[in-house]
């Protein structure tokens, strides 16, 4: 549990520079938070003495000088969606949870229900403002853009998937889609569809035998393999298959179909393919919504407000193997563990995400069809060891062939950080930095050495200088 000596609630970039300078001058460990979400102890680390809180920096505006939309680091995704859409009829493809702060979300790549259709958040990132510390210990702010002529372009690139807490403190982002021309703001970012069809589908766990469970998981993987090409007619369909523990009562799939027409047919086709050969008929709930209403409502599967969490991640370039499905079924139905909170969710991915080269941004995973989100949640700190062990064993056994972690070619997602990947007790496979950053890591190391030579900004999974 962190107990910082000081929390700065900052309102401007100048405030951030001042706070960082005081921390450096006094030799105190400093970190930053924006929306307050965090799956590991990067902010709550007991070693952290100063926290810079950007949650008061929430402005969203159009910057005519840069022909881009400026978004301060403390803005929540819901506010970003609302202001961009109501002001100019545009959006960025980002997370489903409207209470996530954009400050950390974009740094890991940023994705959500529109990403198959529009790409990642960083695919539309034009510039970033960062407070950095030079070799002499002087804090200053730098604006770095994606322009090839920008001498600071490497700092922009590092913030397109290099994760937070490694290079400096972001105070502002600017967004403009590549190739967007003119001075009309409404043409500089994508326009979301007018409406979406939101859906929730459940299967009764008690009726779902082992063979039907395997068929369901296999069908979902095969669908993702078939329909994640950049020209798929299903790019507007996003789904999350939550493979929950049997005590929870149901296996759940939630999602959205974002299209101007034919949404019901797309969903019907999807569910027919997913349920082919499954002996249990699912229960379906659908709702037609205006896009903004759906974006502000968020995911119906978000956990409650008071919980302890551990998460893990992985990417898939093809569906789970039969052996992995067998392992998954075992851990979800184990009789020696009765907690209902654990799950593995399979998120559809790919599409326009995979049209960007692996080294064009710091996000290397550009050939995937699914993203995996492993999670366990509970309330009592005294139960930590039991619930952590269940999730760790599931992950280890699923990847038994590759050292207890995904294969390097598949990788993991830095915005679902997992300190276990840096622990040899749980990872005897690929190094953590290879899993998160792939072949982009050496370049990130060089940028780290240049822009944070004193290693002011660090945590367990931060980039290490070469």
Active site residues: 347, 416
Contact 147, 176 (CB under 8 A): no
Q: Crossing angle, helix 210-226 and helix 322-333, to 10 degrees?
A: 130
- What's the CA gap between 427 and 435, in Å, rounded? 11
- What's the CA gap between 68 and 178, in Å, rounded? 11
- What's the CA gap between 202 and 422, in Å, rounded? 36
- CA nearest to 255, candidates 192, 348, 193, 117: 348
- What's the CA gap between 227 and 224, in Å, rounded? 5
Q: Residue 174 has which token pair? A: 């600017």
Ramachandran region, residue 160 (left: φ > 0; alpha: ψ -120 to 50; beta: rest): alpha
Q: What does DSSP say about strands 250-258 and 195-204: parallel, antiparallel, or unpaired?
A: antiparallel
Contact 58, 76 (CB under 8 A): yes
Contacts of 348 (CB under 8 A, 6+ apart): 116, 224, 227, 228, 237, 238, 239, 240, 255, 369, 370
Contact 68, 175 (CB under 8 A): yes
């Amino acid at each position: 549990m962190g107990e910082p000596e000081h929390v700065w609630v900052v309102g401007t970039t100048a405030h951030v520079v001042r706070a960082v300078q005081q921390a450096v001058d006094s030799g105190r460990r400093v970190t930053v938070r924006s929306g307050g979400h965090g799956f590991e102890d990067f902010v709550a680390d007991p070693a952290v003495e100063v926290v810079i809180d950007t949650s008061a920096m929430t402005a969203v505006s159009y910057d005519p000088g840069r022909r881009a939309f400026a978004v301060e680091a403390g803005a929540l995704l819901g506010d970003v969606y609302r202001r961009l859409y109501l002001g100019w009829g545009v959006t960025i493809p980002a997370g489903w949870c409207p209470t996530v702060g954009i400050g950390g979300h974009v740094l890991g790549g940023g994705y959500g229900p529109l990403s198959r259709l529009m790409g990642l958040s960083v695919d539309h990132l034009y510039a970033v403002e960062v407070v950095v510390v030079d070799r002499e210990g002087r804090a200053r702010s730098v604006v770095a853009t994606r322009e090839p002529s920008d001498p600071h372009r490497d700092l922009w690139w590092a913030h397109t998937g290099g994760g937070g807490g490694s290079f400096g403190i972001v105070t502002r982002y600017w967004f403009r889609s590549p190739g967007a021309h003119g001075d009309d703001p409404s043409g500089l970012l994508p326009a979301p569809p007018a409406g979406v069809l939101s859906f929730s589908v459940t299967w009764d766990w008690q009726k779902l035998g082992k063979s039907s469970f395997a068929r369901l998981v296999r069908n979902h993987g095969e669908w993702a393999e078939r329909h994640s090409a950049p020209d798929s007619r299903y790019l507007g369909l996003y789904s999350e298959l939550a493979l929950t523990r049997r005590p929870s009562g149901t296996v759940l799939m939630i999602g959205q179909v974002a299209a101007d027409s034919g949404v019901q047919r797309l969903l019907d086709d999807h569910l027919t393919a997913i349920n082919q050969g499954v002996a249990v008929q699912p229960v379906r709930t659908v709702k037609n919504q205006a896009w903004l209403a759906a974006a502000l409502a968020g995911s119906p599967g978000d956990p409650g407000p008071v919980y302890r969490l551990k998460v893990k991640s992985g990417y898939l370039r093809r569906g789970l193997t039969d052996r992995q499905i067998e392992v998954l079924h075992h851990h979800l139905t184990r009789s020696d563990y009765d907690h209902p909170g654990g799950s593995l969710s399979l998120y559809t991915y790919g599409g326009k995400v995979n049209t960007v080269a692996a080294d064009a941004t710091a996000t290397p995973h550009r050939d995937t069809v699914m993203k995996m989100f492993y999670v366990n949640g509970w309330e009592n700190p005294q139960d930590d060891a039991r619930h952590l062990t269940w999730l760790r064993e599931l992950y280890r056994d699923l990847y038994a062939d590759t050292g207890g972690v995904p294969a390097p070619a598949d990788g993991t997602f830095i915005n679902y950080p997992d300190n276990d990947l840096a622990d040899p007790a749980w990872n005897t496979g690929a190094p953590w930095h290879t899993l998160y950053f792939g072949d982009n890591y050496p370049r990130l190391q060089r940028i780290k050495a240049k822009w944070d030579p004193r290693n002011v900004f660090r945590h367990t999974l931060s980039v290490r200088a070469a």
